[in-house]
A and B are shown apart, each in its own frame.
Chain A
C-alpha cells in the first residue's frame, strides 16, 4: 500500500510538472505569436503609410495639394522618416514646399514631443526634423544637448543649430569642438560644409587654437578638407604669439603645405631645423609643395638628417619640386656625400623615370604615409 501511495504521489507530481511545462510552452508560443502579430501589423501600417505618402511627398516637391489625407498620430513617425529622406534628397526652393507640408501635417508639433522621447532614435529624428524646419523655439534645448554624453546626439544637435542660425551657432560651437574628443574631425568638417567652406575653416581653426594639442592637431589636419584658406589667419596668429606644442606645430605645417600660400613659406623654412623630428618632416613635406628654387639646398641638407623618415620625406619633397627632373635628381644623387642620403633619392629617381617613360599612370608619392 505504501509503495502504491508513493508511486501515486510521484505520478501526481510528474503530471503537475508536465502540466506546468505545457502551460509555459503555450504561454511562450502565445507571446511569440503576439509579438510576431504586432510586428506584422506595424510593418503593414508602415507599408500603407509609405504607399500613401511617398507619391504625395514627390508631388509636394512641386506643389502642395490643397487637401491632404489625414495623418494618424501612430503613422506620424513613419511619415517623418519619409519626409526627412525626401527633404535631404533635394535642394533649392523645393524645400520650402516640404516645410509647408510639415507645418500643415503638424509635424513640427509632433517632432517637439519626440524631442523628449526615451528612445535615442526618436530624439535624433526629432532634432533632424526641427533643424530642417529651422524651429527657433528649441534653440536652448539644442544648446543643452551639445553637452550630451552621446557623441552622435550632440553632433546632430550641433548640425541642427547650424541649420537654424549659422551665425549664432558658430560662437557656441567653437568651445564645444575644442573640448569634445569624441567628435570626429571629419564629421565636424562635413557638418560645417553645409553652411559654407569659409565659415567652416574659420570656426574649426579657432576651435583648434583653444583645444588641447591632441584635439587641436586633429582638427587642423582636417582643415584642408574645407578647401578654404580662411582657417590660416588664426593659426598664423597662434604660431606667432604662443609657443604651441609640437603636435600643433606639425599639423599647422601640414596644412601650410596643403594650402601652399607663399606667405607661410618663411614659417615652414624656419622649422626645417626644429629639434622634433616629425616637425622637421612636416616642414620638409610642405616645402616640397610650396618651395622655390632657393629652397632646394635646404631640402638637400635634410637628406643627411639623423632621422630616417625626415631623410625620406626630404627626398620625396625634392622629387615633388616642379622643376625637378630625373636627370637633375641623378646628378644630385651623385653629388651626395653619404650612402644613406643617396639611398633615399633612388626610389624617387626610379619613379620619375617610370613616369617619364609613361609606362604606368602617375602615382603621386604624396599619397604615401609615414
Chain B
C-alpha cells in the first residue's frame, strides 16, 4: 500500500477531460501509482463490476453518462468496493457538490484547478498505514 515499497498502489482515475487526465496520469505515475483510467461514468461503473478493487479512487464530479455523485453511490453500494477511499475532483466554488459527495461517502475532495503537490500528498495520506 505504501508507494515507496515495490508494490505499486493502484488508482482508479475517473476523468473525462483528456488533457486533465493526461496530466493526472503523469503526476500519479511519477508518484509511483499504477493508474487505471475510466473516461466516463459508464466506463467507471463497468470497471467497478469487472475489476478487482483499487487502492484508491480519484473521481471527477462532472462526467458524461453518469455523474461523479452517481458513480460514488454505485461504488458505495458494491460490497467489495465500499471501503475504498474516494477522493473527489471538483470545480472551485461547487460547495453543494462537495457537501453532497462527503455526505454520500467520499473521503476527501480536491478542487480544480489543483496543486500537483497537494494532489499526491492527499492521496498518499489515504494509503499510509496510519490512514
- The residues of A with any CB-CB pair to B shorter than 8 Å are 54-55, 57-59, 61-62, 82, 85-86, 88-92, 94, 193
User: Distance in Å from the Cβ of B128 to the closest Cβ of chain A?
Assistant: 22
Closest to A92 in B: B115
- List the B side residues contacting A61 at CB < 8 Å: 23, 26-27, 116
B96 interface hit (Cβ, 8 Å): no
Chain B nearest CB, measured from A88 CB (Å)? 6
Nearest neighbor of B115 in chain A, beta-carbon distance: A92
The residues in B between 16 and 68 inclusive whose CB is less than 8 angstroms from any CB of A are: 18-20, 22-23, 25-27, 30
Sorted from nearest, which 10 A-B pairs have the closest CB atoms?
A58-B26, A92-B115, A91-B113, A58-B23, A85-B19, A54-B22, A94-B116, A90-B113, A91-B115, A89-B113
Chain B residues with CB under 8 A of A86: 19, 23
- B116–A90 CB distance below 8 A: yes
Does B125 lie at the interface of the complex (its beta carbon under 8 Å from any beta carbon of A)? no
- Evaluate whether A92 and B22 lie within 8 angstroms (CB atoms) in the complex, with A58-B27, A61-B27 already known: no
Chain A residues positioned under 8 Å from B25 (CB to CB): 58
- Bound-state Cα–Cα, A82 to B114, Å: 17
B contact residues, total (Cβ < 8 Å): 17
Given A54-B19, A82-B19: A89 and B114 within 8 A (CB)? yes
CB distance from B19 to the nearest CB of A (A): 5
Q: Please report B residues at the A interface, Cβ cutoff 8 Å.
A: 18-20, 22-23, 25-27, 30, 93, 112-118
Residues of B with C-beta under 8 A to A55: 22, 26
Q: How far is the CA of A58 from the CA of B35 in the complex (A)?
A: 15
Chain A neighbourhood of B20, CB < 8 A = 85, 89
Contact A94 B115 (CB under 8 A): yes
Among B113, B114, B115, max chain A CB count under 10 A is at B113
Q: Are A62 and B116 in contact (CB under 8 A)?
A: yes
B114 near A91 with CB under 8 A, answer yes
A296 to B20, CA, bound (A): 54
Complex Cα gap A63–B29 (Å): 15
What would be 26 A-B contacts, judged by CB atoms less than 8 Å apart? A54-B18, A54-B22, A55-B22, A58-B22, A58-B23, A61-B23, A61-B27, A62-B27, A62-B30, A62-B116, A85-B19, A86-B23, A88-B113, A89-B23, A89-B112, A89-B114, A90-B114, A90-B116, A91-B113, A91-B114, A91-B115, A92-B117, A92-B118, A94-B115, A94-B116, A94-B117
CB distance from B22 to the nearest CB of A (A): 5
Residue of B19, B20, B25, B115 ringed by the most chain A CB atoms within 10 A: B19
A152 to B18, CA, bound (A): 26
| A99 smallest CB distance to B (angstroms) | 15
A59 to B25, CA, bound (A): 11
A90 to B112 alpha-carbon distance, docked (Å): 7
Is the beta-carbon distance between A92 and B116 smaller than 8 angstroms? yes
Q: Tell me how far the C-beta of A184 lies from the nearest C-beta in chain B, rounded to whole angstroms.
A: 16
- Closest Cβ of chain B to A234, distance in Å, is 25
Q: Are A57 and B23 in contact (CB under 8 A)?
A: yes
Contacts of A91 in B (CB 8 A): 113-115
A51 to chain B, nearest CB (A): 10
